[in-house]
Amino acid sequence: MKTLLTLFVLFFSSLLPADEISDFQIGGMSIGDSALDYFSREELEDNKELNWFDTTLYTPISELYLSSSEIYESFQLAVKTNDVNYEIVGISGNIFYENDIYKCYEQLDNISNDVKKLFVDVVDLGKKSFDHPYDKSGESKITDIELVLNDGGRILIQCYDWSETYSFVDSLRINIMSEEYKTFVDTAYD
């Protein structure tokens, strides 16, 4: 059963618990789906971030929009580079909080608590804050809660608090990643 995450969950008690990361949806998309089911090949090609990582193993695709999404303002996907089927290994749904990072922090805790109710076995690695690796000044921060599922998949609920030096808008990101992609991301920024 696929489970849809909403910010204001009213019916969690009626949902069956999930076991795997592929049981979870963001904007209707799940790990293992083809991005071509949601976006055109042209959209995906035009939004690839080719120099994001030092390696070409995975390719992020950012600034994607679904008009059918009632919750998320934009999406970012990750696929294996050169995968003609664009199988999704990572999904991020983004909600922007211009000048209201404290609302983001409130939602971070609420969503984490709600997500933990959806899964049979989930390990909460706790909340942590750290400098965003993109901002070498150390002024931009990420605060996140990471949840590990029994299949090794990860759910990260994150607040991005950007320095005023950048034109980026503060945001809430809900990320789901396969175990393989999460392992890659953990080493990609070292």
Residue-wise pLDDT tens digits, 69-119: 999 999 999 999 999 999 999 999 999 998 889 999 999 999 999 999 888
The whole-model pTM stands at 0.85
Rg (CA), the chain: 16
* Per-residue pLDDT band at 5 (split at 50, 70, 90): very low
17, 42 contact by CB (below 8 A)? no
Q: Which long-range contacts (CB under 8 A, 24 or more apart) does 136-145 make?
A: 137/163, 137/165, 139/163, 139/165, 140/165, 140/166, 140/168, 143/105, 143/108, 144/108, 145/108, 145/109, 145/112
* Among 90, 157, 91, 147, CA closest to 120: 147
**Res. 13: pLDDT tops 60:** no
Q: Which domains does the chain have, with CATH numbers?
A: 18-190 (3.40.1000)
